[in-house]
Amino acid sequence: MFCFQCEQTAGGKGCAFNAGVCGKKNTTANLQDNLTGSLITLAKNTPKDKEEETAELILKGLFTTITNVNFDDETLKTLIDEVKNAGGNEPFDMKKIWNENEDIRSLKSLILFGIKGMAAYAYHAAVLGYREPVVDRFFFEALRGIGDMNADLRKLLPMVMKTGEINLKCMELLDRANTETYGNPIPTAVTMKVEKGPFIVVTGHDLYDLKKLLEQTEGKGVNVYTHGEMLPAHGYPELKKYPHLKGNFGTAWQNQQKEFADIPGAVLFTTNCLMPVKDSYADRVFTTEVVEYPEMVHIGEDKDFTPVIEKAIELGGYKEDMLFTGINGGSTLMTGFAHGTVLEKAPEVVEAVKSGEIKHFFLVGGCDGAKPGRNYYTEFVKMTPKDSVVLTLACGKYRFNDLDLGTVAGLPRIMDMGQCNDAYSAIKVAVALAEAFGCSVNELPLSMVISWYEQKAVAVLLTLLHLGIKNIYLGPTLPAFISPKVLELLVDQYNISPISTPAEDLKKMLG
């Protein structure tokens, strides 16, 4: 196998053994490469007037190959056959890309990993009935470009930037799908207490699956708790109206093997963030959508969650209420500060900046991960000045979202804007502030500190670069798939910096 698409890849270079650091076996990695190669061939063989009807299969295939999504070889074989039958026969050999000139390989990897992340967002929107032809068409264009063995830097560089441009449209599409379906998020305090009695923990990103589960558990004495990237669901009116959506269990995805050990409840994985399942909780894990793991019960397209509910009732839950805490000891988390809420307070925010009450904004967010060094983000947020606001999103927030930093100008100093795709909210707020002050985003008292782990973070980063946003601090390590020449280009044009220490970086940001 060879894989270097996530941040924790072996030795910072690439997983090339019998198993990846994520737990993916070499057979699974090779099947995923085979699937990607089949998708490249399918894109090449699909006439432009047939792209719309083939796009759904492209989305599913790309999403399935994201880190920590699908570990089931038999499912991958079935999907490969489906892609081949649709026109993806004679799969493109991915070794051709992995063995290319390092700069070409680097740019093609940025495009490939970017569209994998974008496919996840497009898939979630499509589940709710929202599609965007410009987005769908770009997957075909990008896959053809990746498979073009004559492509040079002049052709690939614009496609890298276009990946960021189209991902912005895709995030806007998903934002519209979520808000028009579930309402605009509102600030909500979420407890980490788990009440006694049967319960189900829902993790991943798919709000539709959570909604279906809430409907099916209504009146059955089974409580529902979010986990990981599902935390922002508590801010949506159409989800928070269910009284048995009680709170949040546990923290970020990489802690699941410890937090789910012997859990007396059922766990439903709706999208990515699945880790190899331990024996201590294997009998209570269920999957749905594209996420699968060998021997785990998978809930199909009918979305009949009866097996999950029955398992929760069988296990019975905790005998008494249990109060859990985050990594810093806090037991309440705030969420729901999407662009709609923040922009409603834009006049007050602008006035607070003009008066000097708020002196700086920090966007500290992105993917969390298991490698050492990520406590940087906890320490960084702790050290931010009291006259600053910390905007956050994605699962990276679990490093500090249970901290009580108080308020500034009547606003909480930590504002959770949502899931990773809600980077769209952060962009909307930044652009609105720039317009209010008559300056560019780069001239705002705003610093971005981005943590990355998997491919959706790559898509978001490319969107920020497409918008011309500079001075991003990226960590905990730089991507292994970025060649020295491509890195030099990004540093020269966008002044991307690797994180160093919280104190040193804060000093640079605050000038």
Report CA 172 to chain centroid distance, whole Å.
Answer: 15
* Residue 158 CB coordination number (10 Å): 12
Distance CA 184, CA 178 (A): 8
Q: Phi and psi of 368, rounded to 5°?
A: -90, 170
Q: Is 102 annotated as a binding residue?
A: no
Q: Is 170 annotated as a binding residue?
A: no
DSSP states of 121-154: HHHHHHHTT---HHHHHHHHHHHHHHT-TT--HH
Kind and range of the H or E run holding 392: strand 388-392
Longest Cα separation, the chain: 65
Distance CA 336, CA 232 (A): 6
Distance CA 112, CA 160 (A): 9
Distance CA 284, CA 260 (A): 10
Q: Is 22 annotated as a binding residue?
A: yes
Which residues, in sequence order, are CB contacts of 8 under 8 Å at separation 6+?
A: 21, 22, 369, 370, 371, 453
Q: Is 439 annotated as a binding residue?
A: no
Cβ atoms of residues 69 and 63 within 8 Å: yes
Q: Is 229 annotated as a binding residue?
A: yes
Distance CA 478, CA 456 (A): 15
Distance CA 355, CA 350 (A): 9
Q: Is 504 annotated as a binding residue?
A: no
Distance CA 371, CA 77 (A): 31
Burial environment of residue 18 by CB neighbours within 10 A (0 to 12, 13 to 18, 19 or more): exposed
Alpha helices in 73-101 (DSSP H): 73-83, 95-98
Distance CA 286, CA 299 (A): 7
Cβ atoms of residues 423 and 393 within 8 Å: yes
CA angle 420, 421, 427 (to 5 degrees): 100
Cβ atoms of residues 486 and 193 within 8 Å: no
Alpha helices in 223-264 (DSSP H): 237-240, 256-259
Which residues participate in the annotated binding site? 3, 6, 15, 22, 205, 229, 273, 367, 395, 420, 454, 456
Which residues participate in the annotated binding site for [4Fe-4S] cluster? 3, 6, 15, 22
Which residues participate in the annotated binding site for hybrid [4Fe-2O-2S] cluster? 205, 229, 273, 367, 395, 420, 454, 456
